[in-house]
Chains A and B, each alone.
Chain A
Amino acid sequence: MFEVRLHGRGGQGTVLAAGILAKALVAEGKHVVAVPQFGFERRGAPVAAYLRASETPMRAMTNIYEPDCVVCIDSSLPRVVDIFAGLRAGGTLVQASRLAPQDIAVPASVATVAVCDAVGIAREVFGRPITNTVMLGAFARATGFVSLEALERALEETSFRDAGLAQNRRALALGHAHTVVHRVERREAA
């Protein structure tokens, strides 16, 4: 079982990203449950989506409280939401940020930090900061849990309200290519 929590803001496509990731993982033979956190549909408001993947069928249609991985597709969100709540020890953070991974403050539960300048890439590709497919590329790069090919095929099965397939393909590829992954080394106390 692998549990992911995606954080973003309304309008960035967080919930859609969970659906695309679900399609890709199912195509790779996994069982998936993806449930969005429920909130009013307001542009800019914090939103979250949960995704659970397993080699065996799952029955529980529930939220996720102890994720293995947190994907944050908005750079300013960690200032207003505790994106690390419940993250399992040895967990992974995939963060949209221009900072170097070493410069991102993370709690002790985080073992891997991956960063991607998703806003910069999205501005170049879409002309606005819609970061969802960029960060799916970053997630694939950081975790290796899903292949880029499966995500590309999942994009082809998705219709996008604000952009075309070619743009999203490019965003995915750029997100994958421009993600820096850093393993956190913790010094033992003397």
Chain B
Amino acid sequence: MNDVVEKTALLADPAGERIVPGTDTAVAKKAPRILVCDGNEAAAWGVVLSRPDMVAVYPITPQSSLAEYVAQFVADGVLDAELVEAEGEHSVLSVLHGAALAGARTYTASCGQGLAFMFEPYFRTPNLRLPIVMSIVNRDGITPQCVWGGQQDAMTVREVGWVQLFCETVQEVLDTIVMAYRIAEDRSVMLPVNVNHDGNYLSNGIVRIELPDQTEVDDFLGTPDVNWHAALDPDRPMGVDPLTGGATGPGPALFVGYRRGHCEGMQNALRVIVEVHEEWARRFGRRYAPLVEEYRLDGADHALVTIGSMAGAAKDAVDAARDRGERVGLIRIKTLRPFPLDALVAALDKVRAVGVVDRAVSYGWNSGPVHQETLAALQHCGHRIPCLSLIGGLAGADLTQTHFERAIAETAKLLDAPCPREPVWLNAEDR
């Protein structure tokens, strides 16, 4: 629990008012507070700024320090929230179901096997249309034993119906958690949001970040109104989670209504994610590609498709290749769910070959999940282009500029040779 005690002292309002970050009257309104911290602490500050009413957590590597930071902030009065230390992840999310139905803004974080144990209520959360924000500190799956980074957890649950956002930087982790509440609680969306940040490299990677001003974040987020549509409220009795179908049920139409409404909410989220990122850039000065980032695609013959923190080293590799005269660019997927079909097609239409780098495995397709998603998107492109699968960064393995230089070289081969069916395993020779 580095820094917490000192920070709390710094944040204490001399007037004895509620202790909140960024309200130090000695600091000019626009001057951001600077933190040097890792992604888990940045996520915890994002939670503080979002002022959830209830947080429930169960620790699991590499999420644990995030849970500890949030718990410390609650203990120190930096975050005025009800903290539930549940006996396991199944209870964590079940507790938050009740809280959200009672009108609370809620937060949790998990990953890997914790997410697996959470699966039953996790599955129900989006169907109940509860705008819960949850960090997944991405962790690879066992077996063999592994507590390290990898996106197998989030990729495995990508059809459950949550909005899934993937961050590249520590600053983006903090900013995206705040933005996630606006997206989740938008009346045309009302869906839970996973903010993904890579275990190890983002969760424990330390950089300089800026902490937004609390009053400006309050203004950005507005007053939460999370149970206008589904509530456990004696003053507004309503049926939540009704029994559908069956001999005496209301017929298939009710169930279809739920599923179709869910799909419509997801499609609405595409628009809302763009709007919220635009407003964030306007208010706080940091602009992120909301759906799909295009990096140096102008005049590119080929491109890498990336997701998560790997994009930093991959962009360095693209710059180096450009310096050598190679016409290569990069596409980064920030929003995986809802799938950003139009944005990705627009990017893919600019190149003649792509290599998709996954930090997870699609066992069914002998490739990676994002590779499969990209193949599906290519169906909507104006021209047919080859699409190679590359898999790396599993179980905390490093993906360096050298790995991406190889990925670029393998992708360039597609410009005048058939595309291999087998994936390229980028860390296969790393000892």
Given contacts A60-B313, A60-B400, contact A159 B3 (CB under 8 A): yes
A61 to B298 alpha-carbon distance, docked (Å): 25
Q: How far is the CB of B150 from chain A (nearest CB, A)?
A: 12
B1: CB under 8 A from chain A? yes
Are B5 and A159 in contact, with the CB atoms below 8 A? Answer: yes
In the assembled complex, the Cα of A31 lies from the Cα of B398 at a distance in Å of 21
A18 at the interface (CB under 8 A from B): yes
Count how many chain B residues have C-beta atoms less than 8 Å from C-beta atoms of the other chain.
34
* Residue pair A59, B2 in contact (C-beta under 8 Å): no
Task: Given A32-B208, A59-B312, check contact A22 B36 (CB 8 Å).
Answer: yes
- Check: A16 CB closer than 8 A to any chain B CB: yes
B148 contacts which chain A residues (CB < 8 A)? 38
Complex contact B6–A19 (CB within 8 A) = no
Interface string of A1-40 (1 = CB under 8 A from B): 0000000000000011011001100100001111110101
Residues of B within 8 Å of A62, CB to CB, are: 201, 312-313, 398-401
Q: Give, as a whole number of angstroms, the nearest-CB distance from B295 to chain A.
A: 11
Which listed residue (A36, A40, A59) contacts B316, Cβ 8 A?
Answer: A59
Segment 370-401 of B: residues with Cβ below 8 Å from A: 396, 398-401
Most buried by A among B201, B315, B399: B201
The answer to whether B205 and A33 touch across the interface, beta carbons within 8 angstroms, is: yes
Q: Is A156 an interface residue (CB 8 A)?
A: yes
Bound-complex Cα distance A33 to B208 (A): 8
B396 contacts A18, C-beta separation under 8 Å: no
Q: Which residue of A lies closest to B313 (CB)?
A: A60
B204 lies within 8 A of A36 (CB): yes
Q: Which chain A positions have C-beta within 8 A of B316?
A: 59-60
The docked-state distance in angstroms from the alpha carbon of A31 to that of B208 is: 7
Q: In the complex, A35→B312 CA distance in Å?
A: 14
Q: Bound complex: CA of A15 vs CA of B62, how far in Å?
A: 15
Q: Which residue of B is nearest A30, CB measured?
A: B208
With a cutoff of 8 Å between Cβ atoms, the chain A residues found around residue B7 in the complex are 157
CB <8 Å contact, B2 and A16: yes
| Dominant secondary structure at the B interface | mixed
Q: Which of A32, A35, A58, A63 contacts B36 (CB 8 A)?
A: A32
- How far does the Cβ of B80 sit from chain A's closest Cβ, in whole Å? 21
B289 within 8 A of A: no
Q: Which residue of A lies closest to B310 (CB)?
A: A61
CA distance A38 to B198 in the complex (A): 13
Chain A residues whose CB sits within 8 angstroms of the CB of B169 once the complex forms: 59, 61
The CA of A22 and the CA of B3, in the complex, are separated in Å by 13
Selected contact of B2 from candidates A32, A33, A158, CB within 8 Å? A158
8 Å CB contact of B204 from A23, A35, A59, A156: A35
Q: A159 contacts B36, CB within 8 Å?
A: no
B206 interface neighbour in A35, A65, A161, Cβ under 8 Å: A35
Q: Let me know if B309 is at the binding interface, CB within 8 A.
A: yes
A40 to chain B: which residues have CB within 8 Å?
A: 147
> Cβ of A59: which chain B residues have Cβ within 8 Å of it?
169, 311-313, 315-316
B207: A residues at CB distance < 8 A: 22, 31-34
By the criterion CB–CB under 8 Å, are B6 and A156 in contact?
yes
Q: Of A33, A36, A38, A159, which one neighbours B6 at CB under 8 angstroms?
A: A159
Q: A23-B36, A161-B1 are in contact. List 8 more A-B contacts (CB 8 A).
A: A19-B36, A32-B208, A33-B206, A58-B312, A59-B312, A61-B198, A157-B6, A157-B7
Mind listing 22 A-B residue pairs with CB under 8 Å? A16-B2, A19-B2, A22-B206, A32-B207, A33-B205, A34-B206, A34-B207, A35-B200, A35-B206, A36-B204, A38-B200, A40-B147, A59-B169, A60-B316, A61-B169, A61-B198, A61-B309, A62-B201, A63-B398, A158-B3, A158-B6, A159-B1
Interface residues, chain A, CB within 8 Å of chain B?
Answer: 15-16, 18-19, 22-23, 26, 31-36, 38, 40, 58-63, 65, 156-159, 161
A-B pairs with lowest CB-CB distance, top 6? A59-B312, A34-B206, A60-B313, A61-B201, A23-B36, A26-B208
| B positions within 8 Å CB-CB of A | 1-7, 34, 36, 38, 147-149, 169, 198, 200-202, 204-208, 309, 311-313, 315-316, 396, 398-401
